[in-house]
Chains A and B, each alone.
Chain A
Amino acid sequence: MSLPVTHKIDSVALRNIVKRFPGVIASDHVNFDVKAGEIHALLGENGAGKTTLMRILYGLYQPDEGEILINGKPVAIRSPADSIQLGLGMIHQHFMLVPTLSVAANVALGLKSSRGLLLDLEVVSQRLRALSETYGLRVDPDAMVWQLAVGEQQRVEILKALYRGAALLILDEPTAVLTPQEVDELFVTLRRMAAEGHSLIFISHKLHEVLAISHRVTVLRNGRVVQTLNTAETSRKELARLMVGREVMLRVERPEVQFGAPRLVIKDLWVTGDKGLPAVRGTSLQIRSGEILGIAGVSGNGQRELAEAIAGLRKPTQGQILIDGMDVTGWRPEKLILNGLAYISEERFRDGVVKDLTVEENLMLEQHGHAPFARGIFLDFGRIASHTQEMIRDFEIKTPSRQTPLRNLSGGNIQKLILARELTRKPRVLIASQPTRGVDIGSTEYIHSRLVAQRAEQTATLLISEDLDEIRNLSDRIAVMYEGRIMGVLEREDASIEKLGLMMAGVSVESQESG
């Protein structure tokens, strides 16, 4: 089956686009273009206006000023229906799938059926199989979407666009949720599409990805284009500087600290996962005060369930969790929080924040019943204002005001808000799951420095991340989790990429040494 480009797009150009939101100019006279066969990367800090610009192109927002040209001719894009008609497709930062429907039904949604008013899911499935064959996008058309892993869901999103014959594909942070192997596979697909004449717009915070995949890069800062460069003529350092507006350290300073007694102790922990099977199988760990223990491993190997069990969101079926010697197994989250536990969840929208509350309300969420936010049963609004203002300043949270609904913040700023809330409580134990996923390099640098600074505060930190660089830069010791078990714990100095890689594939330390 050959390429279904039903639309011919030679070039797409955005001219002088302006978009204002209450308190911010998200796009400030932006010029941007992409040609057939080109992969054009869009780079910028959290809140720089990347998603906004792409939503304008896709017809989800209307620009206040400016125009869009396709093949040199101005076009009106009033809704996604228009842009699909014109041959545009978008993979959204947060997936747009209907979990209760099958893959084929998700693809067929909104399309004309070959059988008139009746659904033609068999036909769709068949074409879908052919398409996934062509592009190496493995997915079962009859599977229900809720059963799919994130990587598979993303393939469905790409197939949805390809199926509609999209000639231009916008990918908004497609790699944020993928494992390194999946990123490699995605890149193969993207290169193939470009070679066949598709235009691609690629958004990512990871500079090495941008350098590896794109032909040109446009850097946005505060809604404005800083510069458009040829990828071949630039470097990681230059891009980082353009993005952040200053030199960025790509490595954190780690002062030596004296570790204390074990603060978080986990003994033979068993936790059941969503599918009803044990996800954590007899894990034992110890983290001393002042220490960061990193857990590496491909996600889905029990890391999330481990974190949720410690945070009191999931009851362990067996085993013990101790904080400073006190048995806290099965405690409610509220009680754990009062006893010095802080949790940065990887599911930031589900477990981390309330989208419909304001920035201020989210900042006081966990402690609204206590000083400094409350006096007796009353909220102390004066203290709340000064305290939250301080948190916003200290953690460089970019928001128009304290009263802005949280949903209007960009992803990275939401993450900084969670960090601000969790760290200002001076936690004894901190669980940080994927703390910088989808976060720009400036904020990543900042979050990393705050996590390292917690060591001096004697916090015991459990850091869970799929990003091996992050784990190796921050951790004092590194454990690898595989199929619910700890494959071994390495001292920072011994943790070579090779050793970690083998452990992530299920080879334990002992067998590496004996073999």
Chain B
Amino acid sequence: MALPKHLQHGLTPDELTFLAEEEVISIVPSFSMTKIRVLSGVYGPFVPPSSTSVPLWMALSLKRKRKCRIVAPEWLQVERLQALLKEEKENQDGFNKLPRRFIETGKVLLDVAPDDLHLPAQLRSLLKDLREVRQAKIRLGLQSEGVMQGSYLQMNGLTPLELMELKPFLVKAMGVLQTLEPRKEERDGYGASQT
């Protein structure tokens, strides 16, 4: 892989998006077709105007061909995101449970199907706000003591993308910190010889 070494520990956002595209989303097709079988399962039948569930990649591909309208996921709505953002702000000690791949899904949907979303511009800014609030929390969390001692960092509720973002830095930093920390046995041994 041509990636710089420090990035090779994790997945790139593109790869994560690729993974996110395996998730299922509902669409309203604008063509009729019987059930189809793909590797991940059987989808359909496609009978407009009723909705059906397909993997995100299929939805996006159909959308690009103008063959369907994507039904926005329940969380991708202004009111819902506002509530989530508020909760996220209020909950200072941890991360809220969010859809696992909300950043990736949100981004591809906003890029490919903004016309199927209600108030896409507002959604985009809300998603960005949400992400920034969480990033700020991560930064704060990194300053906590445990991290400085290279021992551990608690991060419940982080999504894979955020984790991958953090990983290259964190792995290296913690490694460095650990080398700076005197080894336990060394320290103990030193103490023992003293007495």
Chain A partners chain B:
no
What is B's interface to A at a CB cutoff of 8 Å?
A: none
What is A's interface to B at a CB cutoff of 8 Å?
A: none
